[in-house]
Every structure is written in C-alpha cells, then in structure tokens.
Amino acid sequence: MERVEAKILGRDYSLLCPPEEKEALQAAVTHVSQLAGKVQGSGKVAGNERIAIMVAIQIAAELLTLKSPQGPLGDLSVGEFKRKIDDINALLDSAV
C-alpha cells in the first residue's frame, strides 16, 4: 500500500491506497482541497463540516452531470469508460 499525505482546510490526513491508485488519489485530494478552499474563501459557509458537505454536493453534481444521459459519459458504464481510457492511452503510447 502507498501512503498519500493530504492537508485540507488546515487538517492533515494520511490515506492508504494500492500503488496503481496513488496518482488518482492525489488528484482527488487536490480537487477536494481546491473546492474546500473556494467554499471557505467565499465566506458564505462557516465550519469545516458544512464546507465538507458543500464540497461533497459539488462533486456529486459533477459526477451526475457526467453520467446524465445528456452528459459526455451518459451512455457508458464504468468498465466501458475504463476501456476507452486504456484505448486512448495505447493510442498515445503508439504515437510516441
């Protein structure tokens, strides 16, 4: 397992994940941290718990938009999405 250290809203978190998921987890931490900073910076929401709920709602809305029938991933299952990413990566690797 790999350790990912995160700091969100001034609090430290230590997360474990398989090595192949470390990059994605770091990207997720960065995304959450940026959203939390924006919510906190707006001054409209006080308290880390409320900020965390607002961030969770924003991320859920992003996901649902992607998965909606009108969204770019509306007609894809998770497995199909992963296969498309693998296909794109293979195409990029062969081009380099």
The letter for the amino acid at 94 is: S
Q: Residue 57 belongs to a domain with what CATH number? A: 3.30.160.880
Domain that holds residue 11: 2-95
The number of folded domains in the chain is: 1
CA atoms within 13 A on the CB side of 66: 10
Query: What token pair was written down for 30?
Result: 């960065």
pLDDT value at position 40? 93
Cα–Cα distance for residue pair 17/25, rounded to 1 Å = 8
- DSSP conformational letter for 20: G
pLDDT of 23-70, one tens digit each?
Answer: 999 999 999 999 999 999 998 888 989 999 999 999 988 887 776 666
Q: Model pTM?
A: 0.68
